[in-house]
Amino acid sequence: MATIDASIAPARPARRTDWLGRSAIFCYLAIAAGQLLFVAFILLYYYPPTLTGNFAAWDNKPIIKGFVAGDTAGNIFFAVHVLLAAVITFGGLVQLVPAIRNRWPALHRWNGRLYMLCALALALGGLWMTWGRGTWLNHIGAIGITLDAVLIVGFAALAWKAARQRRFADHRRWAIRLFAVASAVWFMRVGYMAWGLATGGAGIGKAMDGPFDIFLAFANSLLPLAIAEIYLRAGAHGTPLARQATAALLGVSGLVILAGSAGAWMMMWGPYI
C-alpha cells in the first residue's frame, strides 16, 4: 500500500495517514481491478483470433463494425487497435506505481514511451475507424469519442514535453490527465454498467441516443478528467475541508467503479470468453 502512496498521493509533502492519500489509493486499486478485468477480456477474447488471423471471430459478440470481408485496411486497423488496447491499459496501471518508477526508472521511461505511442496509435487509428471506416451508431457518440481522441493527443504531447524538459511536477499532472482520458473507453463501459445497476437503464436509448447516452458520450472523458483535476488541486493547495471532500469523492468514485466493473465483467466481457 505505502508503495503506491508516493505517486498517486498529493504533490504536497506526503502525509501517509491523510484521508486524501488513502482514498486515492483505494480509487487506484478499484481502477486497477476494473482495468485488469478489461485486459483479461481483451487477451482472452481478441488476442487468440487476431494473432491467428481468424478475424471473423471478432463478431462473436455485438460490436458495430469488426470484421468486414474484403476491407483489408479496416480489418488491420481493428486488429492493431485491439492488440494495443491491452498494452495501453496494462501499461497505464504499471506507470502509476511509484515503487516501480523509483526502483526501475528505465522501465518507467520505456513504458512511458510505449504508453504514449499506444495512446497516439489508438487515438489516431480510432479516429480513422470512426470517421474513415464509418464505425458509429450516432453522431453524438462519434463526436464524444473524437473529443476524447483530441484530449489524448494533446495531453500526451504535454506530458512528454514536460518530461523532456525535466519539469516533473508538470509531467505528473499531465500524465494523470492523460491517464484519465486514455481510460475513457473503459470508463464508458463501467459507467453504463454502474448506471444500469442503479437505475435499470433509465435514459439509455435503443440506438444509444437517449439522454444518458448523450451525457456519457462526453462524460466518459470529461468526468474522470474533472475528478482528476479536483484531486490534483486539492492535493496541491486544498484547505483541510476541500481535501476531505475530495477524499469522499474519490471513495464514492472507487465504489462506483467497483460496481460498474463487476457489472461489465458479468454482462459485457465474461459471457464471451
Q: Give residues in contact with ligand HEM (CB under 6 A).
A: 42, 63-66, 81-82, 85, 88-89, 119, 122-123, 126-127, 129-130, 135, 145-146, 148-149, 152, 182, 185
- Closer residue to ligand HEM (CB): 126 or 235: 126
Task: Compute the least distance from the CB of residue 122 to ligand HEM, in Å.
Answer: 4
Task: Compute the least distance from the CB of residue 77 to ligand HEM, in Å.
Answer: 9
- Closer residue to ligand HEM (CB): 11 or 143: 143
Could you give the count of Cα atoms lying within 13 Å of 234 in the half-sphere of its Cβ?
Answer: 25
Task: Compute the least distance from the CB of residue 13 to ligand HEM, in Å.
Answer: 33
DSSP track, 186-247: HHHHHHHHHHHHHHSSTT--TTS-SHHHHHHHHHHHHHHHHHHHHHHHHHHH--HHHHHHHH
Task: Compute the least distance from the CB of residue 201 to ligand HEM, in Å.
Answer: 18
- Chain centroid to Cα 4, Å, comes to 19
Angle of the 168-182 helix axis to the 139-164 helix axis, nearest 10: 160
- Closer residue to ligand HEM (CB): 23 or 75: 75
Task: Compute the least distance from the CB of residue 249 to ligand HEM, in Å.
Answer: 24
- Closer residue to ligand HEM (CB): 88 or 249: 88
On whether the CB atoms of residues 89 and 42 are closer than 8 A, the answer is yes
Q: How far apart are CA 42 and CA 169, in angstroms?
A: 33
- Closer residue to ligand HEM (CB): 120 or 214: 120
Task: Compute the least distance from the CB of residue 226 to ligand HEM, in Å.
Answer: 18
- Closer residue to ligand HEM (CB): 179 or 231: 179
Task: Compute the least distance from the CB of residue 146 to ligand HEM, in Å.
Answer: 6
Which DSSP category does 43 fall into?
I
Cell numbers representing residue 140 in the block: 453524438
- Closer residue to ligand HEM (CB): 28 or 179: 179
Task: Compute the least distance from the CB of residue 110 to ligand HEM, in Å.
Answer: 19
Which DSSP category does 133 fall into?
S
On whether the CB atoms of residues 154 and 124 are closer than 8 A, the answer is no
- Closer residue to ligand HEM (CB): 64 or 73: 64
Q: How far apart are CA 45 and CA 37, in angstroms?
A: 12
3-state class (DSSP) for residue 52 = coil
Which residues 6+ apart lie within 8 Å of 13 measured at CB? none
Task: Count H helices and E strands in the chain, helices first.
Answer: 11, 0
